[in-house]
Amino acid sequence: MRLRFIITEVFQGLRRNTTMAFSVIIVTLVSLAFVGAAALLQTQVGKLKDDWYDKVEVSIFLCPNVSVFAQCKAGPVTDAQQEEIIRVLETGALGDIVEQVYPESKEEAWENLLKRDPDGFFAQQLTADDMQPSLRVKLKDPEQFALVADAVGELDGVEHVFDQREVFDTLFQILNRATLLAAALAVVMLLAAMLLITTTIRLSALSRRRETTIMRMVGSSKTLIQLPFMLEGVIAATTGAVLSIIGLWLTVRYLVQDWLVTSNLNWVDYIDQGDVLAVAPWLILIALGLSAVSSLVTLGRYTSA
């Protein structure tokens, strides 16, 4: 009886307040879409890091025959200097960080260049002697780059140390800023959603003041009086959350999986629908929390004595 009573009350309330219910749905839809987008962007950043940081190396360029760098004034790197650098990398404190060191001689660098672009400008104009020997260092954790740079940067025979991650940093910065923007918009929209839910519940409570007064008078429990209003907010907000999940799912399905993955940018690992489903429960939780907080701040005032 009570359950049926609550359900009828909720749907009567939603019907009476259709426009408000729709606006709550739309605002939560938009705000949670931003929350979800921020989360998915971060997931994408994570995937890219996992993917690329496995492949990146630190390159220690050694002094070539001719160099503009001051630390190479003494001339090209000697074998003894190179061995000393490798020793530093493979033993002591760095030994734990460095996974492997691949020396690349001038000749190897030349061959690699020829392989990459045999008819290009550099292959035509340069010889093996113009190339620069280097050490390719693979780190167990690419984030530890600074330690390597500090330890070997000043050694004799080192020209400069280059972290390949720098190449991706701009991209990550763009993605991180996009995340921040989405999160900021989400916060503003969530605030709007909360105010809107508060207003909706208040209007609903005021329009049914006659009923709630009688309910209080005849000794209905507080829960039974307030629950229908809370549920109205919860249903509207959750509907918005579900719609935002559907929207994100469709975006990932058609924009990312169908378009980006088949485009010429297909060499990176993209987020898929599974990632949307991983975010989904959180979006629903936010919607529930939002409506719960709104109800709490409103109902005490409008349905009690």
Our CA angle for 166, 258, 260, nearest 5°, is 20
Q: Which is nearer to another protein, 70 or 217 (CB)?
A: 217
Q: Which is nearer to another protein, 55 or 210 (CB)?
A: 210
CB of 228 to another protein, least distance (A): 11
Within the chain, how many helices (H) and strands (E) appear? 11, 4
Q: Which is nearer to another protein, 152 or 225 (CB)?
A: 225
Which of 86, 226, 245 has its CA nearest to residue 157?
A: 86
- Asked if 68 touches another protein (CB under 8 A), the answer is no
CB of 299 to another protein, least distance (A): 15
Q: Quickly list DSSP for 99-151.
A: EEEEEE-HHHHHHHHHHH-TTSHHHHH--GGGS--EEEEEESSGGGHHHHHHH
Taking residues 177 to 216 in sequence order and writing x for each that binds another protein by CB under 8 A, - otherwise, the string is ---------------------------------xx-xxxx
Q: Which is nearer to another protein, 40 or 225 (CB)?
A: 225
Q: Please, which of residues 221-280 interact with another protein by CB under 8 A?
A: 221-222, 224-225
Residues 6+ apart with CB under 8 A from 199: 20
The rounded distance, in Å, linking the Cα atoms of 228 and 124 is 80
- Asked if 2 touches another protein (CB under 8 A), the answer is yes
CB under 8 A: which stretch of 76-84, 218-226, 247-255, 292-300 binds another protein?
Answer: 218-226
Q: Which is nearer to another protein, 70 or 218 (CB)?
A: 218
Q: Which of 79, 93, 217, 301 touches another protein by CB under 8 A?
A: 217
> Cβ distance 267 to 294 under 8 Å?
no
Q: Which is nearer to another protein, 175 or 215 (CB)?
A: 215
Q: Which of 127, 218, 262, 274 touches another protein by CB under 8 A?
A: 218
Read off the tokens for 183: 């999160």
Q: Which is nearer to another protein, 219 or 274 (CB)?
A: 219
CB of 211 to another protein, least distance (A): 6
Number of other residues whose CB lies within 10 A of the CB of residue 191: 13
- The secondary structure element, H or E, covering residue 61 is strand 58-62
Residues 6+ apart with CB under 8 A from 123: 113, 114, 117
In degrees and rounded to multiples of 5, residue 76 shows phi and psi of -65, 160
- Spatial strand order of the sheet with 98-104 comes to 98-104, 134-139, 58-62, 158-163
- Asked if 1 touches another protein (CB under 8 A), the answer is yes
Q: Which is nearer to another protein, 1 or 70 (CB)?
A: 1
CB under 8 A: which stretch of 1-9, 64-72, 79-87, 278-286 binds another protein?
Answer: 1-9
Q: Please, which of residues 4-23 interact with another protein by CB under 8 A?
A: 5
- Which residues contribute to the site for another protein (CB under 8 A)? 1-2, 5, 210-211, 213-222, 224-225, 305
